[in-house]
Amino acid sequence: MAVYALGDREPDIHPEAYVHPDAVVIGAVTLAKGASVWPQAVLRGDYGTITIGEDTNIQDGAVIHCTPIDATVIGARCVVGHNAHVEGAIVGDECLIASGSVVLNGSRVGDGAIVGAGAVVPFKFDVPPRRMALGVPAKIRDGYEVPLGHTEINASMYRANASYYRESLRRVDL
């Protein structure tokens, strides 16, 4: 796996977290117990800090970055989908940041919320807890409340995947 210190900024990866060999983790990045980072994902804590909560999965191709002003914090049991981009934002627990979406600096995504696939959450935008943000720029879907526990199956599946990959992944092209 590609895990790098940058000057005095070093990743802090819990022993029960999983970083795929083709993912990149740089600098001030903290991965909690059960967190997982998948192929081609990049977490770059060069100018600020990135914190990934327990049992959260950062899926293939996702980019997680921060700024000197805005740390990036992603809560527990979250799903950050394929090719999503989160930068300088605060994401609560049990959120889905769906594939191809973008969550920008100073934004907040409340506990249990969903950012729909391809949505762009603009600077300093708030997605209330258990609500859904859709579109470009993102708008809150009226009259819809996200059900409790919506990330539970995915978070459990990815935690199991991490164990399986840790024990069974082997390179065969060498």
Q: What residue ranges do the domains of the chain occupy?
A: 2-168
Predicted local distance difference test score (pLDDT) of residue 91: 98
pTM of structure: 0.96
Q: Show the CA angle centred on residue 110, arms to residues 57 and 136, nearest 5°.
A: 85
SS3 content of the chain, % helix, strand, coil (to 5): 10, 35, 55
What is the predicted pLDDT for the residue at 13?
98
Count of C-beta atoms within a 10 Å radius of residue 158: 23
Q: Which CATH number fits domain 2-168: 2.160.10.10, 1.10.730.10, 3.20.20.80, 3.30.70.120?
A: 2.160.10.10
End-to-end Cα separation, the chain, in angstroms: 16
Separation CA 32–CA 150 (nearest Å): 21
Question: Helices marked H in 70-169 — which ranges?
Answer: 152-168
Lay out the sheet containing 57-58: strands in order across: 18-19, 36-37, 57-58, 79-80, 96-97, 114-115, 132-134, 139-140
Q: Answer yes or no: are the C-beta atoms of 167 and 131 closer than 8 Å.
A: no
Per residue in 85-122, pLDDT (tens digit) is 999 999 999 999 999 999 999 999 999 999 999 999 99
Average pLDDT, the chain: 97
Distance between CA atoms of residues 26 and 4, nearest Å: 5
Torsion angle defined by CA atoms of residues 120, 126, 131 and 137, in that order, rounded to the nearest 10 degrees: -20
Q: Is the pLDDT of residue 1 over 90?
A: no
9-52 confidence digits (pLDDT tens): 999 999 999 999 999 999 999 999 999 999 999 999 999 999 99
